[in-house]
């Protein structure tokens, strides 16, 4: 079975608000119109399976950048970018280069009738080089339904969607996969927040090779005014990255 590397931990821990970098599970609420969020950080992953993006080795993301803007009463646009370095475990040389640019739009569904339900869709542009083991050189399209519900002091967020992934294995073709995510976030007194999540991707369907992964992650965060300082770790199973960490800061004025 072949895997696909999970390169980004997205979106962190803010109860009663939108999710912030660096978690993968996306919150169902959006920034207020005119408000912005900026995030910057560094991530490391040890990749111990032969994936579609580089094989075994150490992968650095320096920096990871994300910017989001509220553009309406229940709408948000965002962009994420990273610069990558990959040190393969075989005799190939260390290589660096651009990561993929990801563009997203999030829309609240029936905001006057239903709380906490949204649609998010976006595109991953083929900026990262397949030749140098940094990406797939393919354009991907993704869409997900997002739902959030408060359970006491915690919030539970669910994502479910579909990905249309450009296939580096076959010309002029795509791999269709299901995507999912589940997250629990809660305050732990004062300025501290904690969150746990699981995300996965399954498919493509009807083909001999698969691009499956499941990743478990956790984030601890300190919130001081408009600043959020985050550190997180993750463990990949089912042909994902074996383990990794991420650290950085978000600013939401």
State how far the Cα of 221 lies from the Cα of 251, in Å rounded to an integer. 13
Task: Tell whether the model's pLDDT for residue 3 goes beyond 80.
Answer: no
Neighbours of 227 (CB within 10 A): 12
For residue 11, pLDDT over 50 is answered with: no
pLDDT tens per residue across span 180-197: 999 999 999 889 999 999
Is 125 or 46 the better-scoring residue by pLDDT? 125
The pair of structure tokens assigned to 82 is 């990273």
Q: What is the pLDDT of residues 114-133, one digit of tens each?
A: 889 999 999 999 998 887 77
| pTM across the whole model | 0.85
Q: Locate the DSSP E strands across 57-100.
A: 57-72, 75-88, 95-98
C-beta atoms surrounding 148 within 10 Å: 23
pLDDT of residue 192: 95
Q: Where are the beta strands (DSSP E) in the chain?
A: 36-47, 57-72, 75-88, 95-98, 102-108, 117-124, 140-151, 154-166, 174-187, 192-202, 213-224, 227-237, 243-251
SS3 162: strand
Rounded to whole angstroms, the Cα distance separating 226 from 96 reads 33
């Amino acid at each position: 079975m072949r895997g696909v590397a999970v390169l980004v931990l997205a979106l962190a821990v803010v109860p009663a608000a939108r999710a912030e970098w660096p978690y993968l599970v996306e919150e169902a609420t959006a920034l207020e119109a005119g408000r912005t969020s900026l995030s910057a950080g560094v991530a490391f992953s040890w990749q111990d399976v032969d994936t579609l993006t580089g094989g075994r080795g150490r992968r650095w993301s320096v920096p990871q950048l994300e910017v989001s803007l509220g553009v309406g009463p229940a709408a948000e646009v965002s962009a994420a970018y990273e610069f990558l370095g990959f040190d393969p475990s075989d005799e190939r040389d260390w290589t660096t280069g651009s990561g993929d640019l990801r563009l997203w739009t999030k829309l609240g569904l029936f905001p006057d009738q239903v709380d906490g339900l949204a649609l998010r869709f976006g595109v991953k542009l083929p900026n990262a080089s397949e030749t140098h083991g940094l990406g797939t050189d393919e354009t991907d399209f993704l869409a997900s339904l997002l739902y959030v519900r408060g359970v006491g002091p915690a919030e539970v967020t669910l994502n479910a969607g579909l990905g249309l992934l450009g296939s580096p294995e076959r010309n002029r073709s795509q791999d269709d996969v299901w995507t999912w995510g589940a997250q629990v976030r809660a305050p732990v007194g004062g300025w501290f927040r904690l969150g746990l999540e699981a995300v996965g991707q399954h498919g493509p369907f009807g083909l001999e090779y698969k691009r499956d992964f499941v990743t478990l992650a956790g984030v601890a965060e300190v919130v001081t005014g408009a600043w959020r300082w985050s550190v997180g770790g993750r463990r990949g199973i089912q042909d994902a990255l074996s383990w990794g960490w991420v650290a950085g800061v978000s600013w939401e004025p």
